[in-house]
Amino acid sequence: MTTDISTPTPTVPADERETFDSLSPVNGDVVGTHPVHTAEDVQVAVSRAHEAALYWSSLSFDERAEKLNIWKGVITRRIAQIADLMHHETGKPHSDATLEVALALDHIAWAGKNAKKVLGRQKVSSGLVMANQAATVEYKPLGVVGVIGPWNYPVFTPMGSIVYALAAGNAVVFKPSELTPGVGGWLAATFSEVVPDHPVFQVVTGLGETGAALCRAGVDKLAFTGSTATGKKVMAACAETLTPVVIEAGGKDAVLVDEDADLDAAADAALWGACANAGQTCIGVERVYVHDRVYDEFLARLVDKAKDLRAEDSPDTKIGPITMPSQLEVIRSHIGDAIARGGRAVVGGPEAVGDRYVQPTILVDVPEDSSAVQEETFGPTMTVSRVADMDEAVSRTNGTRYGLGSTVFAKARGMEIAERIRSGMTSVNGVISFAAIPSLPFGGVGDSGFGRIHGPDGLREFTYAKAIARQRFKPLLALTSFTRTAKADQQLTQMITMLHGRASTLPK
């Protein structure tokens, strides 16, 4: 019998082991049963990962890239299998699941291909004063990276950390959401087919406590994606051992529509951005600010596009169920608050929230301080507000505690408006485009978190910078020695005056 290296064998005797079920949000069927890994199990996984990290980090960038490439091929050939599992665990339509995996594959390719260029040793200037030194910087793997992921994009989201951490030379221990443990297990198991002799990428399953145990198990960095509230708990747990963290948390992303925008494209993007994946997208559209001059026409087009869109249990539905049942109450309360405070539903409304499905809902005239505008709803809903100009749109967009993504529809001023929005990422005349460009960093500010995945920043996030200064020849001025003379001090003063003195003259 071969041992499964992709997950630790529970330390508790078989007859005392706790398990949990993942359930289909479509009908409540049990999709799979998984072990609740205890703190001790997590510790075992992390210890094994430290050993595996020695092997993995000893490989060259090219060798790691080759293995990541093989893994990419395995996932690609079995894309229907993983998409089916994602559909069962999250309820999302098969086509959305397939798209999600396809986007993740692009990231594996990019991270493997670019790790050497971004992280490998590079010469940097040593400056005039230290001209006798050769200076280099390189980025070394941290060791073991713990990854805690959400359920809404169970492949794309955690892979943004896992793949970049692996490409940088780290071993990974991944705790998927309790709603999507099967998908997490599938990812680690396929990787172990490619790297069968070392547990470089393991999965631990369980509830919140298993995640908390991972924070305390001696990982060298913890990459968390989930809600802001849990992010704070993760950070507090990691602070006990000075374990650094990346926090990819929630958002309240806006679309800004200027008077010269392509209104049809803007309405299409706002609707898809708000309702795709049943609105359960960290960078999903939750608010729309439209220039007064085009507000009525934009709204008419949006309503027209939304009126036939339905969330339902059918093989060709475009919108699936709400994956986490407790979110239904949040969505209901945000819609209720908006209506109670003078807002109107022009599509959907309070009755749109069912037992498992939520129908698309468009709210107008909603006060800016209501929960539907300020808090993450995570459902297929959006507020649409009229603004006098793009200054007001930017100011209102920047008026929440979040700052994850944003979208601008404009012809003349797209880039100018984009630059004024306080969010980690912005798409101009497209929606969510930045997430699918592997060379762009992904992450937020404020309550949306900090640190970056994807792109060169995402690779460096899972490394430490290693600086080396190597003396090439004896210095003309011996500065770092007690043999330094008064003459050397004088020569240094002359040199720094020449280098820096003139530019710092105060303006008259």
Residues at the interface with ligand NDP (CB under 6 A): 148-153, 157, 175, 177-179, 207-208, 211-212, 215, 225-227, 230, 233-234, 248-251, 282, 324, 376, 404, 444, 449
The nearest distance, CB 30 to ligand NDP, in angstroms, is 17
Q: Which is nearer to ligand NDP, 132 or 227 (CB)?
A: 227
Q: Which is nearer to ligand NDP, 298 or 402 (CB)?
A: 402
| 248 belongs to the catalytic site | yes
Angstrom distance (rounded) from CA 63 to CA 228: 37
Q: Which is nearer to ligand NDP, 96 or 248 (CB)?
A: 248
Number of CB atoms found within 10 A of residue 120's CB: 11
Angstrom distance (rounded) from CA 390 to CA 150: 34
Nearest to 153 by CA among 120, 121, 176: 176
Integer angstrom CA distances of residue 127 from 130, 472, 474: 6, 13, 15
Angstrom distance (rounded) from CA 65 to CA 72: 10
112 with 139: CB under 8 angstroms?
A: no
Region of 468 on the Ramachandran plot (φ > 0 left; ψ -120 to 50 alpha; else beta): beta
The nearest distance, CB 227 to ligand NDP, in angstroms, is 3
Options 215, 282, 376, 461, the catalytic residue: 282
The nearest distance, CB 174 to ligand NDP, in angstroms, is 9
364 with 383: CB under 8 angstroms?
A: yes
The nearest distance, CB 31 to ligand NDP, in angstroms, is 15
Q: Which is nearer to ligand NDP, 233 or 460 (CB)?
A: 233
The nearest distance, CB 54 to ligand NDP, in angstroms, is 27
Options 89, 100, 178, 248, the catalytic residue: 248
Nearest to 332 by CA among 347, 353, 311, 356: 353
Q: Which is nearer to ligand NDP, 187 or 302 (CB)?
A: 187
Nearest to 412 by CA among 284, 288, 272, 291: 291
Provide the sign of the torsion angle of the four alpha carbons 274, 275, 280, 282, taken in this order: negative
The nearest distance, CB 283 to ligand NDP, in angstroms, is 7
Determine the 3-state secondary structure of 78 from DSSP: coil
Number of CB atoms found within 10 A of residue 101's CB: 20
| 282 belongs to the catalytic site | yes
Q: In the sheet where 406-409 sits, what is the strand order?
A: 344-347, 361-364, 381-387, 285-291, 253-257, 406-409, 427-428
The nearest distance, CB 334 to ligand NDP, in angstroms, is 14
Burial 251-264 (b: 16+ CB within 10 A, else e): bbbbbbbbbebebe
Task: Supply 289's token pair.
Answer: 């600010």
Q: Which is nearer to ligand NDP, 56 or 164 (CB)?
A: 164
Q: Which is nearer to ligand NDP, 51 or 209 (CB)?
A: 209
Catalytic amino acids?
A: 248, 282
